[in-house]
Amino acid sequence: MKIIFKIILLTFTFSSLSTNNLLSNTISGIELKTIVNSWLQEQNQLPNVKILDELKYPFCEKSKMIISDISGNYNLIKIKCVDKNPWRIILRNKKERKVTDKRKKTVKTFALKRNLKNGTILTKEHLTEVNKKLVGQSVYITNHSDIVGKKLKRNMNKSISLQYNDLLNDWLIEKNTVVTIINNKGNITIRESGIAMENANFMDRLIVKNIKSGKILQVYAKNKKNVVFNPKQFEPNVVNN
């Protein structure tokens, strides 16, 4: 009886040792998931690896695991074991899709309270706020200070959101304005009167007509009253013709 008991005890002990030895020589799906999720966090990525918990692979030292992103966006992660029993596996890191609000955004714009003719100088009293659905980049004026004091370029109906191309530019020099043509020659500056043939802003090139000679000249807008042949011209001695 004692001999039989000893045999049973030895058999149980051997079985337990074999089972423990088998378990110690494998790595589970839960352990692999923990290792990969930790690696993803180190890469500043949200971890959401999917793998069966009961999956078993030959044991591999963590230092002998090579983990890499093979998709370029951390959706597919490869683990390669270079230990005594080498193996490899590819896991999917299922990223949560961002839920986007498909509703179109609105932007505050300004429209006229009543129909107005071109050339009308706009005041705050002319304007009313209108919420406009935003499609792509807005072309509407969203600040009333960009409207007040400007002239309408064309006849405009009420309730239509204003755009920048509905307004006349504030030109430094306006067409048909009398200007002074400044021409530096050596140490002498010659000034003559001319008429602007087109609108221009600061240092824009424009065409003017010399009132005295009738010549058509290409010059640059220096300020509201003066145009110059060369933007870098200076004003030493002045001779008026």
Residue 138 identity? S
Instruction: Tokens for 179, please give them.
Output: 């200007």
Q: How far is CA 235 from CA 161, 219, 232, in A?
A: 47, 16, 10
Residue 35 — φ and ψ, nearest 5°? -65, -45
Q: Is residue 101 one of the residues assigned to a domain?
A: no
Q: How many Cβ atoms from other residues are within 10 Å of residue 144's Cβ?
A: 16
The answer on 73 and 35 residing in a single domain is: yes
Q: Is residue 173 one of the residues assigned to a domain?
A: no
Task: Write the DSSP string, the chain.
Answer: -HHHHHHHHHHHHHHHHHHHHHHHTEEEHHHHHHHHHHHHHHTT----EE--TT-EEE---GGGEEEEESSSSSSEEEEEE-SSS-EEEEEEE-PPPPPP--SPPEEEEEEESS-B-TTPBP-GGGEEEEEEE--SS--B---GGGTTTPBBSS-B-TT---BGGGB----SB-TT-EEEEEEEETTEEEEEEEEESS-B-TT-EEEEEETTT--EEEEEE-SSSEEESSTT----EEEE-
pLDDT in tens, the chain (241 residues): 444 444 344 344 334 433 443 445 888 888 888 898 899 888 888 888 888 888 888 888 888 888 988 888 888 889 989 888 888 888 888 876 655 555 667 888 999 999 999 989 899 999 999 988 876 666 788 888 888 888 898 999 999 999 888 988 778 898 999 999 998 887 888 899 999 999 888 888 999 999 999 999 999 998 889 999 876 654 433 334 4
Q: Is residue 99 one of the residues assigned to a domain?
A: no
Beta partners for residue 131, in sequence order: 108
- How far apart are the C-alpha atoms of 62 and 32, rounded to whole Å? 10
pLDDT of amino acid 178: 95
- How far apart are the C-alpha atoms of 99 and 108, rounded to whole Å? 25
pLDDT of amino acid 5: 40
The answer on 81 and 8 residing in a single domain is: yes
pLDDT of amino acid 82: 87
Of 166, 188, 216, the residue that ends a domain is: 166
Q: Provide the CATH number for the domain around residue 215.
A: 2.30.30.760
The model carries a pTM of: 0.38
Rg of the chain in Å (alpha carbons)? 41
pLDDT of amino acid 219: 93
Q: What's the first-to-final CA gap in the chain, in angstroms?
A: 140
Q: How far is CA 172 from CA 125, 151, 219, in A?
A: 27, 15, 14
Of 42, 69, 93, the residue that ends a domain is: 93
Structural domain harbouring 76: 2-93
Question: Residue 234: CB partners within 8 Å, gap ≥ 6?
Answer: 184
The answer on 156 and 110 residing in a single domain is: yes
Closest alpha carbon to 79 in 70, 71, 88: 88
Q: Is residue 229 one of the residues assigned to a domain?
A: yes
Q: Is residue 72 one of the residues assigned to a domain?
A: yes
* Pair 141, 130: CB distance under 8 Å: no
Total domains in the chain come to 3
* Pair 179, 173: CB distance under 8 Å: yes
